[in-house]
């Protein structure tokens, strides 16, 4: 749900629109697909990522806007726009992005792939031999699982799953029962692949593909014997997928959530995608069935779901058309064999994913599960996947009699089902499973291991900026810190006490924690730099994050800029702050980096009169992270590791003139190109510096 205010806290002109900022991010992802320097199959993959991002944008953000429209919300967002104004702007830009996306697919990507022997074969080009093979496939693989539904008083319009592929078929004639319904719906089961590869001997090229939609269009008449097919049109409805669970009224969150999850597929429709040849009559009919307006209709020249093309680059064995294979490195100080606890006890260990391997994190949990000296393991879980080696290690630890406590966030969007599954398995082997704190999502990334050693019990911790998910650790940029520092591990222990027990929050020595101290400490650190600048001292702030939307922090940054603080912000996605505005933010620069890997780490740097305080965090600078989630920010206390974060996480990115986008005060981004200077690509240089 989008938050609207009766009276914004700060002048509306100081802020950019959040929804348009999200669409701006998707524009930059689309630009990756349009970048001729990118390998061709990766450009196709970026086009698919745009579709995936747009799906979530409609499922969550647009659905929130529509809820406000239905409620006739009178308030405005922080930037001063009403729900009606925002929706109008969002719809116009979303239509433009989709148009440009499909235009680039049809006019650039597909012809370029065709020249390389990777062909998506249209019906008009099928040879007789190809048509025979495809018809046989239709009858063998598709007909047994298809259920055509003729619409009449006893067969109403079916419940259409969120984002499922469907076909509206216009018919003439009468069926075996004398019925003359002129419309039928054919739903494509999700078990059917959306892209089918033909044998090479039939296509004359290395990789010949046909779309499932093309096959059904060609042979749909065979599902309606004796009737005439006038037209067949693919369509897809996107629905509100934001689960609503009133946690204050729930006695068992897991049971309630299990009941709500199936309904996610049938929320209110927010978008209708149809093929561009869909007849006006069918278009109007479908809009009426989903209670949508003309502005909710997206006509596309191609498959209505490009996300299903994401697998094609994996099927094609053409390394020359993909990113160069990359092997993550292993940081110094970690033994190839032996105890990882001995290494952590000697020095803190910093991991920079995906440039460095996630294996040490897996090893930490695996060794803890097997080590007879380990007596307890505590861990937070937000996203970990359905097949997680980390969860398997926790199961083994609990089965061996160790005290295992897992804080599972059941409300992790689109991962609820996987998390419920792991929670059930952990409980079955005797682990303590808790679901955090009512009203707050547990988004912090933390592991605490208690080990019996000479002299008593010793605590070890892992703190991270990203999820405990081995697959995304190969795709997202994140930092992770392994430490045995007594004060830091004591803080982590206190946080786990809060999450599992009751009582007042104790003061933490090193960690900043939302919803208590994180936002006030960030505002205070910004204000401290402003005070130093006013006194004539050197003042500097550099922060890297996914999103910047929280008004009080933005206001503090404006005041710091006016005081003379030099500020660089690396914001991958939404930034509501206006940089470079005279009298407001002249000392602030905003940059977005879009590359091979998803920029995900959060780094907060304050010069602090030469002390250079550096924090890593799980939290973006957003209202939800500061006030509605349990988050952590942790300092780099080891000078060498602090220097690494400054260099690898900030300096490399500030120097990037290949994948960087500079934002102006109107929220418009321009690619950062410096033809006279040496090219710098942060991700490429980190791969060379840290890779194996």
Contacts of 220 (CB under 8 A, 6+ apart): 167, 169, 186, 229, 232
Q: State the first-to-last Cα distance of the chain, in angstroms, to the nearest integer.
A: 44
Is 90 exceeded by the pLDDT of residue 450? yes
- Specify the pLDDT at position 250: 39
Residues of the chain with pLDDT > 90: what percent? 74
Q: Return the CATH class of domain 12-103.
A: mainly alpha
Is 90 exceeded by the pLDDT of residue 676? no
| Averaged pLDDT of the chain | 90
Is the sign of the CA dihedral 404, 409, 415, 417 positive or negative? positive
Count CB atoms within 10 A of the CB of residue 503: 7
Most confident segment among 247-261, 386-400, 416-430: 386-400
Is 90 exceeded by the pLDDT of residue 264? no
CA atoms within 13 Å, Cβ hemisphere of 630 = 27
Is 80 exceeded by the pLDDT of residue 54? yes
Count CB atoms within 10 A of the CB of residue 335: 11
- Specify the pLDDT at position 408: 83
How would residue 179 be classed by pLDDT, with cut points 50, 70 and 90? low
Do 572 and 592 contact (CB within 8 A), yes or no? Answer: yes
- Specify the pLDDT at position 500: 85
Q: Which residues are catalytic?
A: 443
How would residue 266 be classed by pLDDT, with cut points 50, 70 and 90? low
Backbone angles phi, psi at 314, to 5 degrees: -75, -30
Contacts of 575 (CB under 8 A, 6+ apart): 16, 21, 547, 548, 549, 569, 590, 592, 663, 667
Q: How many Å apart are CA 430 and CA 423, to the nearest integer?
A: 11
Q: Locate 533 and state its tokens.
A: 């600048």
Q: Return the CATH class of domain 340-509.
A: alpha beta
Backbone angles phi, psi at 688, to 5 degrees: -70, -40
Tens of pLDDT, residue by residue over 280-295, are 999 999 999 999 999 9
Domain boundaries along the sequence of the chain: 12-103, 145-248+269-321, 340-509, 513-690
Count CB atoms within 10 A of the CB of residue 665: 17
Tens of pLDDT, residue by residue over 56-109, are 999 989 998 998 888 887 778 889 999 999 999 999 999 999 999 999 999 999
Q: What pairs with residue 662 in β-bridges?
A: 591, 670
Is 70 exceeded by the pLDDT of residue 252? no
DSSP per position, 595-612: SSSEE--EEEEE-GGGT-
Tens of pLDDT, residue by residue over 312-352, are 999 999 999 999 999 999 888 787 778 999 999 999 999 99
Taking the complete model, does pTM exceed 0.95, yes or no? no
For residue 222, the Cα-to-chain-centroid distance in whole angstroms is: 41
Instruction: Identify the weakest region by mean pLDDT among 57-66, 105-114, 478-487.
Output: 57-66
- Specify the pLDDT at position 70: 86
CATH number of the domain at 513-690, please? 3.30.870.10
The arrangement of strands across the sheet holding 195-198 comes to 118-120, 207-211, 195-198
How would residue 9 be classed by pLDDT, with cut points 50, 70 and 90? low
Tens of pLDDT, residue by residue over 268-277, are 899 999 999 9
Is 60 exceeded by the pLDDT of residue 358? yes
Q: How many Å apart are CA 30 and CA 38, to the nearest integer?
A: 12
Mean per-residue pLDDT, 216-225:
92
Fold: same for 340-509 and 513-690 = yes
Containing 149, the helix (H) or strand (E) segment is strand 147-150
How would residue 3 be classed by pLDDT, with cut points 50, 70 and 90? low
Residues of the chain with pLDDT > 70: what percent? 91
Is the domain defined by 145-248+269-321 classed in CATH 3.30.1840.10? Answer: yes
């Amino acid at each position: 749900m989008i938050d609207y205010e009766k009276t914004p806290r700060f002048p509306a002109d100081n802020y950019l629109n959040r929804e348009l900022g999200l669409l701006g991010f998707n524009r930059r992802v689309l630009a990756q697909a349009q970048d001729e320097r990118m390998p061709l199959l990766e450009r196709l993959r970026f086009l698919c990522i745009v579709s995936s991002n747009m799906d979530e944008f409609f499922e969550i953000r647009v659905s929130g806007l529509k809820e406000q429209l239905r409620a006739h919300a009178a308030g405005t967002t922080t930037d001063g726009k009403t729900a009606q104004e925002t929706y109008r702007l969002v719809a116009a830009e979303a239509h433009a992005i989709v148009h440009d996306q499909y235009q680039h697919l049809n006019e650039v990507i597909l012809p370029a792939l065709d020249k390389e022997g990777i062909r998506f074969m249209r019906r008009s080009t099928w040879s007789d031999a190809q048509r025979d093979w495809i018809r046989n496939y239709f009858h063998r693989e598709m007909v047994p699982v298809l259920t055509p539904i003729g619409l009449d008083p006893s067969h109403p319009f079916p419940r259409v799953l969120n984002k499922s592929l469907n076909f509206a078929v216009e018919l003439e004639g009468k069926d075996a029962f004398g019925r003359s319904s002129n419309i039928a719906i054919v739903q494509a089961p999700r078990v059917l692949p959306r892209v089918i590869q033909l044998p090479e001997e039939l296509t004359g090229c290395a990789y010949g593909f046909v779309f499932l939609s093309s096959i059904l269009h060609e042979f749909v008449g065979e599902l309606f014997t004796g009737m005439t097919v006038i037209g067949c049109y693919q369509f897809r409805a996107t629905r509100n997928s934001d689960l609503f669970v009133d946690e204050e009224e729930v006695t068992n969150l897991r049971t309630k959530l299990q009941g709500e999850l199936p309904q996610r597929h049938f929320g209110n429709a927010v978008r209708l995608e149809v093929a561009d040849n869909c007849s006006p009559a069918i278009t109007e009919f479908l809009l009426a069935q989903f209670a949508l307006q003309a502005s909710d209709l997206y006509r596309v020249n191609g498959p209505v779901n490009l996300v299903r093309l994401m697998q094609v680059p994996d099927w094609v064995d053409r390394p020359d058309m993909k990113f160069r294979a990359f092997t993550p490195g292993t940081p110094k100080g970690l033994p190839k064999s032996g105890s990882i606890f001995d290494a952590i006890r000697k020095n803190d260990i910093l991991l920079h994913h995906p440039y460095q391997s996630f294996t040490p994190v897996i090893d930490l949990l695996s060794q803890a599960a097997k080590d007879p000296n380990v007596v307890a393991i505590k861990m937070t879980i937000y996203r970990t996947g359905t097949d997680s080696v980390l969860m398997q290690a926790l199961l083994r630890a609990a089965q061996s009699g160790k005290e295992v406590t897992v804080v599972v966030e059941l409300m992790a969007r689109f991962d609820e089902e996987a998390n419920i599954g792991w929670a059930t398995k952990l409980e079955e082997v005797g682990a303590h499973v808790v679901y955090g704190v009512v009203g707050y999502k547990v988004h912090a990334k933390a592991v605490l291991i208690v080990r019996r050693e000479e002299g008593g019990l010793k605590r070890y911790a892992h703190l991270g900026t990203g999820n405990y998910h081995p697959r995304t650790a190969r795709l997202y940029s994140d930092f992770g810190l392994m430490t045995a520092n007594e004060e830091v591990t004591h803080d982590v222990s206190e946080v786990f006490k809060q999450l599992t027990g009751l009582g007042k929050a104790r003061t933490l020595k090193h960690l900043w924690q939302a919803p208590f101290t994180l936002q006030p400490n960030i505002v205070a650190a910004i204000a401290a730099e402003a005070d130093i600048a006013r006194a004539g001292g050197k003042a500097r702030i550099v922060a890297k994050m996914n999103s910047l939307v929280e008004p009080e922090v933005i206001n503090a940054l404006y005041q710091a800029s006016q005081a003379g603080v030099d500020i660089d912000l690396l914001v991958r996605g939404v930034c509501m702050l206006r940089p470079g505005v005279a009298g407001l933010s002249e000392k602030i620069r905003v940059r977005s980096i879009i590359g091979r890997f998803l920029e995900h780490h959060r780094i907060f740097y304050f010069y602090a009169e030469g002390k250079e305080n550096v924090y890593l965090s799980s939290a973006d600078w957003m209202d939800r992270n500061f006030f509605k989630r349990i988050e952590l920010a942790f300092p780099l206390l080891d000078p060498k590791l602090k220097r690494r974060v400054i260099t690898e996480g900030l300096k490399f990115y500030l120097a990037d003139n290949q994948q960087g986008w500079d934002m102006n005060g109107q929220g418009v981004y321009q690619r950062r190109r410096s033809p006279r200077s040496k090219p710098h690509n942060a991700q490429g240089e980190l791969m060379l510096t840290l890779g194996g």
